[in-house]
Structure 1
Amino acid sequence: MNAVGVAQEIIRPEVLQAVIVSALGSLAKSVTLAIDEVVVDVAPAHYLDAMRCLRTASGCQFEMLVDLCGVDYSEYRDGLWEGARYAVVSQLLSVNLNQRVRVRVFAHDDGFPVVPSVTSIWRSADWYEREAFDLFGIVFDGHDDLRRILTDYGFIGHPFRKDFPLSGHVEMRYDEEQRRVVYQPVTIEPREITPRIIREDKYGGLH
């Protein structure tokens, strides 16, 4: 509902796409439609300027960042992906104009992925960026408190990376003799479990 209590009509995706293309200009690498949603791809060098524009430009006014996450594309399309490995994807919402947009930025360096922090634009990005750092190892330049948020203090690695082992690298337990929590290499042997499928010839009365 807007200020006078009248529901805003949802703008058609192709119309919003044209508005965003006009607003961003050369700041966007591409502005496409995917499943009836506008998707903006930007380079890291233009990321902050593009996000500020999306927040303030007439016809955009995305005053809310409702989600931000990391993505590891290394196994995308069964390993046929040839672009950069790590991306940050944000979901923006304009409450006033009743519209949404998705923004994606890829980190240039797969070995040390870095993208600018948008906490100066949306403070709600704080914990989202910490989560992406914790789980994917993506560094957010300009974040004023970038530290792990979900894993334990002694955790090694980034568990949402596709090459991270399911069992992890270390395990923790309470040692009765030392009377403290200790860390040690994982003792569980990695194994692949294949479910057993039971077929019945007359299941459900079918012959």
Structure 2
Amino acid sequence: MSRIERLAQTLQEVLGEKALEVLVDRGEVTLRVSAADYPVVAELLRDHPDLAFEQLIDLSGLDYSGYGNRPWPGPRFAVAVHLLSLQHNVRLRLKTFAEDDEFPMLPSLIEVWPSVDWYEREAFDLFGILFEGHPDLRRILTDYGFVGHPLRKDFPVSGHVEMRYDPHLRRVIYQPVTIEPRVNAPRIVREAHYGDVDHG
């Protein structure tokens, strides 16, 4: 049995019904849990001796609207947490979905892995996912007056407002976007017989 298969089996044994899905694909293990079980499972993943995921590497926000170029049947927003067990030399992706699409909220993992601090702030800033219990949840990449969450799939490519320096006022001003919306369709230009065997 490979290390990855052993990890998947251990997750099933330790978590039982809390493991909604344990997926082994392309040499990686993804564990999906409910939002309600998310903090409890995080502690088990860190503290159980057969798991010992002592290091959180990353947390990513996910927007599943239009996933796979078709409507997504489940909740829209999720997070994927990437964990590392140095003791067992394995990695794990922990995924959970926020239950409310209009007001996505999940428990913060900052008490379990303090390194999640800025990652949760980034997911809040770019996706609008709130983390209950985070001590300093504020924007981290966009400007203080920024409106919206730019990595949501329904956020316009050109944004809502633009910022520029006005030399007469001697300050930065905000104004509605002046760019005409357009469809970004790539143009591919090729020679008539490009790639043919007999081509020069």
TM-score range, shorter chain: over 0.9
Look up the match of 1:5.
Answer: none
Distance 1:28 1:203, change over 3 A: closer
Q: Confirm whether residue 168 of structure 1 aligns to residue 159 of structure 2.
A: yes
Percentage of pairs with the same residue:
55
Q: Is the 8 A contact 1:115 1:141 kept in 2?
A: yes
Look up the match of 1:109.
Answer: 100
Give the counterpart letter for 2:145 in structure 1.
G
Give the counterpart letter for 1:17 in structure 2.
A
Secondary structure, aligned partner of 2:79: strand
Look up the match of 1:94.
Answer: 85
Give the counterpart letter for 1:165 in structure 2.
P
Give the counterpart letter for 1:184 in structure 2.
Q
Q: Is the 8 A contact 1:135 1:158 kept in 2?
A: yes
Question: 5+ unaligned residues in a row in structure 2: which ranges?
Answer: none
Look up the match of 1:146.
Answer: 137
Q: TM-score, normalised by structure 2?
A: 0.93
Q: Residues 124-135 of structure 1: matches in 2 within 5 Å?
A: 124-135=115-126
- Out of 180, 183, 201, which is 2:192 matched to? 201
Q: Confirm whether residue 22 of structure 1 aligns to residue 6 of structure 2.
A: no
Q: Distance in 1 between matches of 2:62 and 2:49?
A: 30
Aligned-residue Cα RMSD (Å) equals 1.7
Q: Distance in 2 between matches of 1:41 and 1:194?
A: 36
Look up the match of 1:61.
Answer: 52
Look up the match of 1:3.
Answer: none
Q: How many residues align?
A: 198
Q: Between 55-64 and 173-182, report the one with greater CA deviation.
A: 173-182
Q: TM-score, normalised by structure 1?
A: 0.90
Secondary structure, aligned partner of 1:124: helix
Q: Distance in 2 between matches of 1:203 and 1:91?
A: 43
Q: Is the 8 A contact 1:67 1:128 kept in 2?
A: yes
